[in-house]
Structure 1
Amino acid sequence: MKPAFFRSLTTVLAALVVMAGLLSTAALAQDGQAGAAGGTPIKVGVYVSPPFVVKDGVAKDGAHYSGMAIGLWEATARPLDLTYTYSEYPSFEALTEAVRKGDADVAVSNLTITKDRVERVTFSQPWYDAGLRIMVAERDSAGFWQVMGGLERAGHLRAMAWLATIIVVATLVLAWFYRRFDETFPRSWHAGLAESFYEVMSVATSGKVTRPNALGWIGRISGGLWMVCGVAVIAYVTSSVTSVMTALTLTHQVNSLADLPGRTVGVDGGSVAETYSRDLRLSTQAYGTLDDAVAGLRNGEVSAIIGDAPVLEYYAHTHDKAPLSVVGPIFHPDKYGFAFRHGDDLSHAITLQILALQEAGELEALRRKYFGNER
């Protein structure tokens, strides 16, 4: 009897274990699909960052969003039969903190996976490889005041001021000289000064002497000396202005990260770009939106903008009338993921859906929808 009793007891215990496992699995599934039809909707926090999150407008039922991140989230939520509502946050930092505190259940945007954020939230499977790049405003040429400033810094402006003084003195001396020794020279002072000034500027700009025979052979010699001086003046002025404009063109160009030290760069406040720029000890100016940063770039507040490469590339492509260029290679490579509160089983369920979409090629198709075939 005893062996039969123990076999019956073992069977009962095994059945209880199986039932407990099924109940546990059902509970986990119910937790992982919080917000399923008939439950409390999931609070989805978003940060507007085209083309990943685009705000299409506000209707009676709330704001409507689109973009690659939104499309991916909806594609992963659909098989899990999740219901959700969107809430917009003003920055990546605010979005991350909302998830950490439980004010939002999931963060949906081009949120970069970093060590600091992983300590505060749990990330899903990465779904986009990105990095940072630089955006600059194209400038056709250096302005007048920039050239004048360059001439002053190079010391040419002082030399040109001396040349202007010499021209004025030469005009006065030449007018006095011709009035005394050249009978054909105008007698009135205003006409004489005008004639003398024309003579000096003719020599200075073209090397031509208008009155070479005023004093015979002495006039010829003095005229030749004037021509030499004029050619030297023109060569000096031309070379100095050209060199300054060339230097301005070179120094105002930003082509890579190495060109940024000593300049102020615009960044998205609370972004990885801001943290990375400060780690490099670059002078930064934080903005609330990319539009604000671009306005600062055009106004000369910043020399360049550092931001997520796909975001900057998309902005420059969709604002083709604005003189903007994304330059240099991608640096500080990173990945995007959805963020969840620590301990939320929904992160595992969403990760499985992301992997399924990736294996089916739907994730790549979604990427091509917004970025084309370029990588």
Structure 2
Amino acid sequence: MSRTALIRSVVAAIPLVLFMPWGGRAQAPESPPPRTLVVATKVAPPFAMKGENGAWTGISIELWRHIAAKRHWQTTFREYDTVPAMLDATASGQADAAVSAITVTGERERQVDFSQPFFSTGLGIAVPQQRELEWMPIVRGFISMRFVQVLGILVGTAMIVGSLIWLLERRHTEQYRNGSRGLGTGLWWAASAMMYAAPQDKAPATLWGRVVATLWMVASVILIASFTAGITAQLTTKNLTGRVRSEFDLIQVRTGTVANTSALSYLASQRVDPKAFVTAADGLQALAGGRLDAFVYDKPLLEYAVKQQDVQGVMVLPVVFDRQNYAIAVAPRSDLRTEIDLAMVDDLRTDWWREVLTRYLGPQ
């Protein structure tokens, strides 16, 4: 074969070599089919809400959809009635993850794994809104131990001053000479001076007696003014804000919460015996109807329920206690936890996430 023919043969064979399927190396790899995950959820506005058409929305739902879109997952939502039921399904493999307003607790950590928290909150208290003064709180205020203690201090101080005036005046002033009767006169004058009605004919006559009397009259003005202002402020504030002003008052009043929640567990640990309701709406209606004195639930859920249902005569106190975090639950040792955490690392710092929170909860 001539040299020219050899070159032509080699050139003709090059396309065949380039496009020959060498064990499939030239074929583009097929993309794996989308992974379909079953996600347990429950109604917990505004974190998980089910529309009339069965579509799910809410803060937690939008976060999950965002994560699923980044990981190319398809989602099938499965509804449960309670958080424990969701966690049981996730732990047993019936669901791949659980998404709603799920509080991370030590007991739940032993059952499932949690992603990093995506929302920090705590428990809140809803109470009846007081619009008018009521007499019973005022009466209870006057028979309280604190009132008795303050009154005892005032009376005791007046008795000391009256006795001192008697000791200074008993040898020099006629009305103080008689032993027990003179002492009674001194006590009467001191008590009358405290009430701005001291009798002039019983006034001390000696220099030191008048000095003590003058100091006592000035001091009594300050004491009575402070006593009156303190009692008035205490009674008025307590009456206007109701019997509950913080979590420490819950043990003394009729308290309610939602059944099978971390709020119920917390109240039980604080020796509060709450009445359990199926939903927050039921508890708020009981509160508005006067069957409860306080209703405890996750604060954002509580505020959203009061606002959306327009419950009349109910307000949420500006207190937060038993701080807690919401997270996504997955089965123990599931590979989903790492993937979810990696997807959430940047999402929770973006304007998108702030816009989601503002849209459901208002300005943060």
TMscore range, shorter length? 0.5 to 0.7
Q: In the alignment, residue 333 of structure 2 is paired with which amino acid?
A: G
Q: Which residue in the other structure is 1:373 paired with?
A: 363
For 2:336 and 2:106, locate their aligned partners in 1 and report how far apart those are by CA, in whole Å: 21
Q: Is the CA contact 1:45–1:104 (under 8 Å) kept in the aligned structure 2?
A: yes
Q: How does 1:215-294 map to 2 (within 5 A)?
A: 249=239, 252-294=242-284
Q: Which amino acid aligns with 1:115?
A: G
Aligned residues of 1:91 and 1:288 also touching (Cα < 8 A): no
- Kept in 2, the 8 Å contact 1:257–1:328? The answer is no
Check whether the contact 2:42–2:100 (CA below 8 A) recurs between aligned residues. yes
Per-residue Cα deviation, 1:322-354 (whole angstroms, up to 9, x for no partner): 222110421111111000000210111111111
Instruction: Determine if the alignment matches structure 1 residue 138 to structure 2 residue 133.
Output: no
Counterpart in the other structure of 2:6: none
Aligned AA for 1:117?
R
AA of the residue aligned to 2:329? A
Q: After superposition, where does 1:60-99 map in structure 2 within 5 Å? A: 63-99=54-90
Distance in 2, matches of 1:294 and 1:69, equals 24
1:322 correspondence with 2:312: yes
What CA distance in whole angstroms lies between the structure 1 residues aligned with 2:363 and 2:257?
Answer: 27
Q: What is the Cα deviation at residue 248 of structure 1? A: 8.8
Tell me whether 1:53 sits opposite 2:48 in the alignment. Answer: yes
Q: In the alignment, does 2:324 pair up with 1:334?
A: yes
- When residues 141 and 105 of structure 1 are mapped into structure 2, their CA distance, relative to the original with a 3 A threshold, is same
Question: Aligned runs of 1:307-318 on 2, under 5 Å?
Answer: 307-318=297-308
On the 8 A contact 2:256/2:283 being kept in 1, the answer is yes
The alignment partner of 1:332 has SS state of: strand
Q: Report whether the alignment pairs 1:301 with 2:274.
A: no
* Cα distance change, pair 251–327 in 1 and its aligned pair in 2 (3 A): closer
**CA-atom RMSD, angstroms?**
2.9
1:222 match? none
Q: Give the Cα separation in 1 of the matches to 2:286 and 2:347.
A: 40
SS in 2 for 1:255: coil
Q: How far has the Cα of 1:247 moved from its partner?
A: 10
User: 5+ unaligned residues in a row in structure 2: which ranges?
Assistant: 1-30, 144-231
Letter paired with 2:96: D
Cα offset for 1:309? 1.2
Structure 1 residues 142 and 102 mapped into 2: Cα distance closer, same or farther (>3 Å)?
farther
Q: Deviations over 1:179-212 (max 9, x none)?
A: xxxxxxxxxxxxxxxxxxxxxxxxxxxxxxxxxx
How far apart, in 2, do the equivalents of 1:369 and 1:87 lie?
25
Contact 1:91/1:270 (<8 A) preserved: yes
User: Deviations 1:267-315 (Å, cap 9, x if unpaired)?
Assistant: 1111111111001001211111111111221233321111111111222
1:52 alignment partner, SS class = coil
- TM-score using structure 1 length: 0.59
**Which runs of 5 or more residues in structure 1 are unaligned?**
1-28, 31-35, 155-241
In the TM superposition, 1:347-358 aligns within 5 A as 347-358=337-348
Secondary structure at 1:329 match in 2: coil
Matched, 1:102 2:101: no
Q: Give the Cα separation in 1 of the matches to 2:251 and 2:341.
A: 40
What's the offset of the Cα at 1:104? 1.6
Percentage of matched positions with identical amino acids = 28
